A and B are shown apart, each in its own frame.
Chain A
């Protein structure tokens, strides 16, 4: 490849966004994406450095410099093929991945000035592919065919030892392209990013995959959790229909552990392996006085009503939603930002209350920035201690205390300490709790022999997803606790490798 004349621009090429005043009243997507010119300009900022730290920073191992070089040349179809081959859900990852702590966090360009906008470029190629489906599909098919040729040439002197080398490097193991899983049947429990990725990887090799989802719509957190203005739902639907085209079957309205348990799936329904990707959907509470008042809810309720049930379009959709006139959201993560920005769009005056400072907030900087732009108030170093109700049992205020930061705690963040005598009341008619979520114990309870931690996290092998039961694999939030979409996808991809190895081992073949 001829050396690129790189673009020395220090900052990322800006991405157009909806005006904050306009967008705070609607659910349209905030970030509008690059034009082709923007994308080429940004791609040229990549210096194609030799050690590619970005690829090691990516949980699914996207060949970042390669696809960016193709974007710089204007070959968007092939760029898409490179991304899609490694990442089943590029349009989603381009939008919701915390790139700043992954690929972009280690980008060589980031040492001076801003890193290359890898997420924005990934989003661009995925969106381009949606608009040019035939060219994109042709490029992907060609890429897969070329891969096959290369692999079959290599396979003569390529021993399985190479795979273990890959594992040691911490890269994501990929099912070799000549592996044929036709005739094998595998079930996914849950349809979030972990299960979708796992399903997609297995389906690529002809495996018969059925995805069981408890809700009426598939997508897991992508559907019920992340709001429309950050991740449009028709985009999620498109990614899912592309999996359907690849042969994956979806069974919504199927609560595994109730309708079937895992043993029945394996012994009666003919699944040779099961992947559990049930996520972390259960709410946690503050356990303070007044949490039962009307007008107090967890972020899950608000987000489920709005995202899954489309309550923002009530009464056109039947499910209503109440966000109040003065709404407090407690918490500092992405879910808290999503809840705050959702309540704002429903017409509430929103205050985020967080017990540490802005620096310590676990939410992505971009989300905090967007929330601030939209007019959301932040009461930092503030912690609710009691919720106050009126005579009818509706909340009318939250008593909070001011905090100061003390010594670092186990997580390395400075521990917030109450300032004595600093109690004061913030009036509100809605109070939303967004302080983390935990895993659903249903699978653990209904699957004898499945080893879990005291927090109901499923114990699974980091590299293969294998659990204590042969043939049962797990990954994503159900294993590591509430984390990110991309980590779940990485786990799904590794489990697909683990499952294919298991299936072949059981049928006496080898990778």
Chain B
């Protein structure tokens, strides 16, 4: 069992969690992921590392409540434990020797982009960070990124933070202004990574993207996580999760990503209904208790 050390809601959809897994914390590097299973009946889900503390023995993950497992995970408390937590899996992002880079995070991808930016900063690189969110209430890790980024811009789809637009707009501006990036690393929705790659391709900048396909075991066995890179399919779990952004077939990845959508939606519905039913039950109980005390009070009178 792997104890949960802390749980923090970063916003209404996103949770940060520290888990005690000392050997994983010692070994995991930016870009690598873990797989966890909440309990005996749970599914294995992959989550890319957000941070680690080898001294405290903790690994930090950040996840969005998008499916049954992440909704349940978000409701867990410090002191509780997760049944299985395995890692590090996949390969670390290749950041060695880079002196000037731009790291881009879209939505939850920001959680994975952050350790890359931090690693680059800690290893003497000058790193710009661009992050994008639907709206300003969903912005995460602004403070943490500010500490490691030479320059940081937060974009929102609705302009609620004053910067309306997609991440590729400031990226293009910076490239045009002669930022001199040796590397662009993008983590986020597939459609965002696709357009980042298109932008950097025109400028001839090496680009890495982090793919997050369906996965069962995460160790190279199931073949579920195939990503089309160039003219071949590679396994994100053992060959990735980072791939050359100019070779990934994003449309193929989007199509493959929905293969289990029907099941995922049904599971989320069940999970939400279960939570709702629990809430109704609680309300009912509270109502009954109130009624009882009132009744008792009246009897006492």
Q: Does B256 contact A (CB under 8 A)?
A: yes
Q: How far is the CA of A74 from the CA of B50 in the complex (A)?
A: 63
B259 touches A295 (CB 8 A): yes
The answer, among B27, B43, B88, B270, for a CB contact under 8 Å with A319, is: B43
A212-223 to B contact mask, C-beta < 8 Å, 1/0? 001110000000
Residue A281 at the B interface, CB < 8 A?
A: yes
CB-CB under 8 A from A318, the residues of chain B are 41-43, 68-69, 267
Instruction: Check if B86 sits within 8 Å of A216, measured CB to CB.
Output: yes
A304-B27 in contact (CB<8A): no
Q: Is B84 an interface residue (CB 8 A)?
A: yes
Which residues from chain B contact A427 at a C-beta distance below 8 Å?
A: none
CA distance A252 to B44 in the complex (A): 14
Q: Is B37 an interface residue (CB 8 A)?
A: yes
Which residue of A is nearest B217, CB measured?
A304
Residues of A contacting B264 in the complex (Cβ-Cβ under 8 angstroms): 320
Is A291 a contact of B222 with CB atoms below 8 Å?
no
* Inter-chain contacts of A151 with B (CB < 8 A): none
Interface residues of B in 235-283 (CB under 8 A from A): 238, 252, 255-256, 258-260, 263-264, 266-267, 270
What would be 13 A-B contacts, judged by CB atoms less than 8 Å apart?
A215-B86, A224-B217, A253-B84, A255-B86, A260-B23, A282-B221, A283-B222, A283-B223, A292-B226, A294-B255, A317-B43, A318-B68, A393-B256
**What separation, in Å, do the CA atoms of A301 and B226 have in the docked complex?**
12
B89 close to chain A: CB less than 8 A: yes
- Closest chain-A Cβ to B150's Cβ sits at a distance in Å of 32
A residues at B contact (CB < 8 Å): 214-216, 224, 252-255, 258-260, 281-283, 285, 291-292, 294-295, 297-298, 300-301, 304-305, 308-310, 314-320, 322, 392-393, 440, 442
By a CB distance below 8 angstroms, the chain A residues around B24 are: 259
A301 — which chain B residues lie within 8 A by C-beta?
Answer: 216, 222-224
Interface of B is mostly: mixed
B165 within 8 A of A: no
Given contacts A215-B217, A283-B223, A315-B266, could you give 13 more A-B pairs where the C-beta distance is less than 8 Å? A215-B86, A253-B85, A255-B86, A258-B88, A281-B220, A282-B221, A283-B221, A292-B252, A297-B224, A300-B221, A301-B222, A304-B216, A320-B260
Tell me, in angstroms, the Cα distance from A309 to B221 when the chains sit together.
14
CA of A282 to CA of B239, assembled, Å: 13
Structural contact, B216 and A214, CB atoms closer than 8 A: no
The residue in B85, B87, B220 that gathers the most chain A C-beta atoms within 10 A of its C-beta is: B220
Q: Which of A216, A282, A310 contacts B84 (CB 8 A)?
A: A216
Give min CB distance, B262 to chain A, whole Å: 8
Q: How far is the CA of A143 from the CA of B118 in the complex (A)?
A: 63
- A254 nearest in chain B by CB position: B86
A-B residue pairs, 7 tightest by C-beta: A320-B263, A318-B43, A253-B86, A216-B84, A301-B222, A298-B223, A393-B255
- Report chain A residues within 8 Å CB of B260: 320, 322
A297 adjacent to B223 (CB under 8 Å):
yes
B11 at the binding interface (Cβ < 8 Å):
no
Could you say which residues of chain B place their CB within 8 Å of the CB of A393? 255-256
CB pair A294 B256 closer than 8 Å? yes
Residues of A within 8 A of B121 (CB): none
User: Distance (Å) between the CB of A39 and the closest chain B CB?
Assistant: 35
Contacts of B228 in A (CB 8 A): 292
B83 CB–A CB distance under 8 Å:
yes
Q: Which of A214, A254, A304, A316 contacts B41 (CB 8 A)?
A: A316
Least CB separation from A320: chain B residue: B263
Cβ–Cβ contact B216 & A309, under 8 A: yes
* Chain A CB within 8 A of B163 CB: no
Residues 68-94 (chain B) with a chain A CB within 8 angstroms:
68-69, 83-89
Complex contacts, B220 vs chain A, CB 8 Å: 281-282, 440, 442
**A289 CA to B233 CA in the complex, in Å?**
12
User: Are the C-beta atoms of A300 and B222 separated by less than 8 Å?
Assistant: yes
Give the residue name and chain of the B residue nearest to A214 (CB). Answer: B219
CB neighbours of B221 from chain A (8 A): 224, 281-283, 300, 304
CB distance from B4 to the nearest CB of A (A): 16
Closest Cβ of chain A: how far from B207's Cβ, in Å? 22
Pair A305/B267 contact, Cβ less than 8 Å: no
Interface centre among A216, A254, A320, A322 (most CB of B within 10 A): A216
- The docked-state distance in angstroms from the alpha carbon of A216 to that of B44 is 9
Specify the chain B residue showing the minimal Cβ separation from A392: B255
Residues of B within 8 A of A252 (CB): 84
When chains A and B are docked, how far (Å) is the Cα of A259 from the Cα of B21? 11
Contact (Cβ within 8 A) B222 A215: no
> Contact at A322–B88, with CB atoms within 8 Å?
no
- CB pair B255–A285 under 8 Å, yes or no, is no
B217 touches which of A291, A308, A315 (Cβ 8 Å) = A308
Contact between chains at A317 and B41 (CB < 8 Å): yes
Chain B residue at minimal CB-CB distance from A281:
B221
* Contact partners of A319 in chain B: CB under 8 A: 43-44, 216
Q: Which residues in A have their C-beta under 8 angstroms from that of B84? A: 216, 252-253
Instruction: Determine how close the nearest CB of chain B comes to the CB of A283; give it in whole angstroms.
Output: 5
A315 near B44: Cβ-Cβ < 8 Å: no
For residue B211, give the distance in angstroms from its CB to the closest CB of chain A.
14
Smallest beta-carbon distance B70→chain A, Å: 11
Q: How far is the CA of A253 from the CA of B82 in the complex (A)?
A: 12
Instruction: Assess the A309–B219 pair: CB atoms within 8 A.
Output: no
Instruction: Kindly state the separation between the CA atoms of A451 and B69 in the bound complex, as whole angstroms.
Output: 42
B46 → chain A, closest Cβ, in Å?
13
